[in-house]
Amino acid sequence: MPGTRPESNVTTSTDQQNTIALAQLQVEVAYMKAAIARLDASTHELDQKLDMVLNQLAQARGGWRTLMLIGGAAGTLGSGITWLVSQVRG
């Protein structure tokens, strides 16, 4: 019987170690789930901000085109007036 008892203690000790290791893994998994949830929220916020930036760029691009159109039209009109005045005077 003395030989049986140490094996029993070893088994109990191994079971305790396994239980502790399992508990540690469960805590780590819970931490990882919380970290993933935080990352998901952060990613969602970044997506919203990126959408806002892209919208601003799209509006700026449209504004730039409008300014170029107005500038081109003004330049053409100014050239036409200059040509007309030079033809009338000259």
Q: What is the mean pLDDT of each run of 10 residues along the chain (90 residues)?
A: 52 89 96 96 95 88 84 93 88
The one-letter code for the residue type at 26 is Q
DSSP codes, the chain: -TTHHHHHHHHHHHHHHHHHHHHHHHHHHHHHHHHHHHHHHHHHHHHHHHHHHHHHHHHHHHHHHHHHHHHHHHHHHHHHHHHHHHHHH-
Question: What sign has the CA pseudo-torsion 11, 16, 19, 21?
Answer: negative
pLDDT at 8: 55
Distance CA 23, CA 20 (A): 5
Global model pTM greater than 0.85: no
Distance CA 72, CA 25 (A): 68
- Residue 42, Cα to own-chain centre: how many angstroms? 7
